[in-house]
Chain A
Amino acid sequence: MIQKKVCMVGIHGTGKTSLVQRYVHSIFSAKYHSTVGVKIDRKPVTVGNTDVNLLLWDVEGRTADQDIPASYLRGAHAAFFVADGTRRETFEQVADLRELVRSAAGDIPSIVALNKADLKDQWVLTASDRATLIANGFHTLTTSAKSGEGVEDAFRWIATAALSVAST
């Protein structure tokens, strides 16, 4: 069984935790976030004939006065960023967060989930914003914790990307 460490990073309140909690195997309660600052879940994904267990290090969301501990990011095979499609500032911080991940784990496959896709009337991001992300080397997709839209795709992309990095 192949295992991959994936760190999930986002601004506080982007719905990162609720995005994944329905789709992963979890034995730790949410209070780990406020105590240790990280909660580890497992997401099994099958890519072709290969079974992969993604170990998701769901790092506590970034707040104004608390940064993400770099040690939790170390050794990650892929990064899963979550931004809130209804709050532009969360999107704008992705690049900054990416630098944090890069300094801790190097250039690793990165995906940005533009979350809360169900709130279409409050959506503030434009097509050009996505183009910017793609130009910066991110894979992007829109997700919704409510409908589940894009979530499985996001994990499958990460698993595939992590495997392909390993094989090269």
Chain B
Amino acid sequence: MPDDGVPLGEGTAATSDMSVRELTELRDLLFGAERRQLDELRRRLDTAELTSDELAEKLPQAIVQRAARDKQLAIALAPTVESAISESVRRNPHEIATAIFPVLGPSIRKAIAETMSGLVNTINRAIEHSFSPQGIRWRIESWRTGVPFAQIVMRHALVYRVEQVFLVHTGTGLLLAHMPDESLGDADLISGMLTAIQDFVNDSFEPKQTGELRAFAAGDLTVLVETGPQAYVAAVVRGQAPETLPLKLQTTLETIHLQWSDPLARFDGDAAAFTTTRPLLEECIETVLATDQRAKRAGFRRFAWVVPVVVIAALALWWGTRGTRRWNAALARLESEPGLVVIRSERRGGQWHLTGLRDPLAANPALLMASRGIDTTDVVARWQPYVSTEPALLLARARRVLAAPVGITFRINGDTLSASGRAPAFWIARAQALAPALAGVGATNFSGVSPGLPGDMERLATDIESQHVLFAAGTDSLDASARAIIATTAKNIQRIIDAASSNRYDISIHVVGRADPSGAETNNLALSRRRATAVRDRLAGLGIAPVRLAVDAVGSNDPLPAATALERARLNRSASFVIQARPSTVPTSAERTQ
């Protein structure tokens, strides 16, 4: 504040300088802040260019505003961005590769998946068309007409295709819009003609009562028409139009009536306003193939390729495992055989290696395998001996260990060994002592064994039962030595019958036929029966009363023991005799006369 007493407006230079300075001071004090702002504004107006700070402040907002308004910004930036990216890729490809990797990975996967899916689809169609009767028909058609197979497939597989869509002014028949290509040329003429045809039908058939012309067809082309008050839509469809298509056209037409109501009402020949309806019409253009539709109907069609693949794989597997299956069959045969246990089998170095347990009385495993088509020179087998308690082997062992006479029959029930028949008393005592020591035998029952026979009967019975009528392999014919044995035996039989009668015994002679183990058991059983029958008939022919004779056939079961397999086979191609004698309950003729 000036308080030095000098009046303002005094005209000296000094005072003038002073007053200017004071005034400036005063102004600063009064308007300092405003002045600085004014100076700043002036400076900005003078420079007219933004500082980088200001630009940084404004740029994001500016970009957002301009991008919202139009595409000029994007257009302007595009070349710069493109060259920046290519420069960046050139300088440091790694950087940009890393940056876009998260985008690129899924995109590539998606692209591959789509390609694969397309490929599978193509294969499916090809297979479907190649393997079906329909496909073969089409191939013939292709060959006959010279049209490529792919076109034939397309022609037949096409369910429908909406090829063209017309939007036509109802009042004048003038074309408003057309898809797919307005430059087609004659769409205006066609739309005029379409209108004329509708008029023609309307006039000719009075559809005022039946409704308007909705569709007309020629060959595989159908024109569907949906009519509105101001315009109608006509769709040219090749193939079988779906039921949903008219509804789609109707919806499109309604939308056009709603959104273009003003241009429709004022239409006077200028269709420019209707170019914007084309995206709507474009939505009606579509192609549907039979393969697409069937895929929707039955999902398994997508897996048509599975069938031939499975068949081929199955054939390959069958072929490749033929040897294995044969081996498995042989193993099953071995395992079903009493006295054989297979522990491990494997294929190694082109050979089968087999480890197992074998009862000494069991059948020869090599023969069993050979019977199943296995080349036994390819088999390395290691059999450990063991004792089987299976009934068949238990019986064989009992007969062998106990040295049972032929008159004794063994049975096994649970772990009880039962014997029946007739044997000398000393044998019975010894067998009863030994039998429980046999593996697998828990108890014995010898109550069915009758001891000895009185007088000459025992000697005669032992003599008869020691005879074997031997046969050549596979036959039941009696040779000279057989006939001689039968003749001798017949005399003894007659003697024992007589002795039994006087000792009051009922007696019967069982002729037991046997066969060696070669061949099927059913055949062996029949053969053994024929052998026994032949011997019985011979005995009857020699005067033995047939009522005393019975025939037993045991085939190769319950074989007679022998030291070697060869001897055993020879001995069992035979018929032998078993005497059954019981004290008689019927009085003798002498008693009856008394």
**A36 with B197: CB separation less than 8 A:** yes
**A75 with B173: CB separation less than 8 A:** yes
**B203 with A57: CB separation less than 8 A:** no
Known contacts A42-B189, A53-B188, A166-B268; A5 and B172 CB within 8 A of each other = yes
Known contacts A36-B197, A75-B172, A77-B269; A57 and B202 CB within 8 A of each other = no
- Within the complex, which residue of B171, B192, B197, B270 is in contact with A57, where a contact is CB–CB below 8 Å? B192
Say how far B167's CB is from chain A's closest CB, in angstroms. 13
Query: What CA separation (Å) do A71 and B205 show in the bound complex?
Result: 14
**A3 with B269: CB separation less than 8 A:** yes
Query: What CA separation (Å) do A166 and B267 show in the bound complex?
Result: 10
B25 at the interface (CB under 8 A from A): no
- In the complex, which residues of chain A have a beta carbon less than 8 angstroms from the beta carbon of B169? 75
A72 at the interface (CB under 8 A from B): yes
Say how far A82's CB is from chain B's closest CB, in angstroms. 19
Known contacts A2-B269, A77-B269; A55 and B199 CB within 8 A of each other = no
Known contacts A55-B192, A57-B192, A72-B196; A3 and B175 CB within 8 A of each other = yes
- Within the complex, which residue of A5, A28, A53 is in contact with B173, where a contact is CB–CB below 8 Å? A5
**B189 with A28: CB separation less than 8 A:** yes
- In the complex, which residues of chain A have a beta carbon less than 8 angstroms from the beta carbon of B197? 36
- Within the complex, which residue of A2, A25, A28 is in contact with B193, where a contact is CB–CB below 8 Å? A28
**A40 with B202: CB separation less than 8 A:** no
Dominant SS among interface residues on chain B: helix
- In the complex, which residues of chain A have a beta carbon less than 8 angstroms from the beta carbon of B190? 27
B369 at the interface (CB under 8 A from A): no
- In the complex, which residues of chain A have a beta carbon less than 8 angstroms from the beta carbon of B192? 5, 40, 55, 57
Say how far B171's CB is from chain A's closest CB, in angstroms. 4
**B173 with A55: CB separation less than 8 A:** yes
Counting chain B residues whose Cβ lies within 8 A of the other chain, the interface size class is 20 to 34
> Per-residue 0/1 for A44-86: is the Cβ within 8 Å of any B Cβ (1 yes, 0 no)?
0000000011010100000000000101101111000000000
**A3 with B174: CB separation less than 8 A:** yes
| CB proximity to A under 8 Å, residues B151-179 | 169, 171-175
Say how far B191's CB is from chain A's closest CB, in angstroms. 9
**A69 with B269: CB separation less than 8 A:** no
**B196 with A3: CB separation less than 8 A:** no
**B200 with A55: CB separation less than 8 A:** no
Known contacts A40-B189, A55-B192, A69-B203; A75 and B171 CB within 8 A of each other = yes
Quick one: closest A residue to B171, CB to CB? A75
**A5 with B174: CB separation less than 8 A:** yes
Quick one: closest B residue to A77, CB to CB? B269
- In the complex, which residues of chain A have a beta carbon less than 8 angstroms from the beta carbon of B189? 25-28, 40-42, 55
B186 at the interface (CB under 8 A from A): yes
- In the complex, which residues of chain B have a beta carbon less than 8 angstroms from the beta carbon of A72? 196, 199
A1 at the interface (CB under 8 A from B): yes
Query: What CA separation (Å) do A57 and B195 show in the bound complex?
Result: 11
**B188 with A42: CB separation less than 8 A:** yes
New A-B contacts (11) at CB < 8 Å, excluding given A3-B188, A36-B196, A38-B200 = A1-B271, A2-B269, A40-B189, A41-B189, A42-B188, A55-B174, A55-B188, A57-B173, A71-B199, A72-B199, A77-B268
